[in-house]
Amino acid sequence: MDEEREKEKERERESVSKGKRYAYCTCISMDLFIRVSLQLTSLHLVAVRDVKWSQQGHFLLFYGYDCTSRLIDVKKGLETPIFREDQIVGVIKFGPFNSNIFFFGGSKAHIKLWDIRNGKAVHNYNQNLGSILDVEFTMNGKQFISSSDVSGSNANENSIIVWDVSRQVPLSNQLSILCPNSTPTIPVKQPRPPVGS
């Protein structure tokens, strides 16, 4: 088993050094509906969780359970550097007006803003509220909203936070919903009979 994995890693290193990939993936361009053949090896060593298109349609972003994200330049058919994390990917979103950035939220409650031009995380958003369930931008792209899940004794607290993208601070963390794990017993009051009956 270890021997097979080592061979797989060696093949990946060789293909990266040659600048070529050998497995084929057929994609359909959103504007022209043409097939694009990408030369790719296995993108991830474990299951791929999801694939996202950039808004302009230039990039495909694959992310999986191996704590990595891989970006494919569709026009060139090349893979950019791998984006590595210390947590399992929960959600990824491209910037609304700039497909050179994307948000990465994961299982350890961290949200990072990555810049694909330099392959580095440029901002870090951390509130330690549990695994990140989703991230969505506001219309102007200057803020984003994150949702997370915190499990406690007999309850899950779902937190929704509005963040300032550039300042890396929460603008509002007042949105919180308490959802019990089990069905609560609610005492029902019997209506009183009308006076004089």
Domain CATH code at residue 175: 2.130.10.10
Is residue 132 assigned to a domain? yes
Q: What strand order describes the sheet that includes 143-152? A: 131-137, 143-152, 155-164, 169-180
Distance of CA 21 to the CA centre of its chain: 25
Instruction: Report if pTM > 0.75.
Output: no
Asked if 68 and 43 touch (Cβ cutoff 8 Å), the reply is no
Is residue 9 assigned to a domain? no
Rounded to 5 degrees, φ, ψ at 15 are -70, -35
Domain encompassing residue 64: 46-180
Where residue 34 falls among pLDDT bands split at 50, 70, 90?
very low
- Partners of residue 103 on adjacent β-strands: 93, 113
Is residue 57 assigned to a domain? yes
Is residue 19 assigned to a domain? no
The pLDDT score that the predictor gives to residue 33 is: 32
The span from the CA of 163 to the CA of 168, in Å, is 7
Asked if 113 and 122 touch (Cβ cutoff 8 Å), the reply is yes
pLDDT of 14 strictly over 60: no
The pLDDT score that the predictor gives to residue 173 is: 63
Domain count, the chain: 1
Can you list the positions of beta strands (E) in the chain? 23-28, 35-40, 48-53, 59-64, 68-73, 78-79, 83-84, 89-94, 101-106, 110-115, 120-126, 131-137, 143-152, 155-164, 169-180
Q: What percent of the chain has pLDDT over 90?
A: 0
Is residue 147 assigned to a domain? yes
The span from the CA of 64 to the CA of 82, in Å, is 12
SS3 of the chain: helix, strand, coil, percent, to 5 = 10, 50, 40
Task: List the structure tokens of 167.
Answer: 């300042």
| Three-class secondary structure of residue 11 per DSSP | helix
Asked if 34 and 68 touch (Cβ cutoff 8 Å), the reply is no
Where residue 53 falls among pLDDT bands split at 50, 70, 90?
confident
Q: Which is more confident, 42 or 194? A: 194
Is residue 33 assigned to a domain? no
Most confident of 23-27, 69-73, 101-105: 101-105
Where residue 55 falls among pLDDT bands split at 50, 70, 90?
confident
Average pLDDT over every residue of 75-99: 81
What residue has token string 């302009």?
Answer: 56
- For residue 57, the 8-state DSSP code is S
Is residue 34 assigned to a domain? no
Burial classification of residue 70, based on how many CB atoms lie within 10 Å of its CB (0-12 exposed, 13-18 middle, 19 or more buried): buried
Is residue 3 assigned to a domain? no
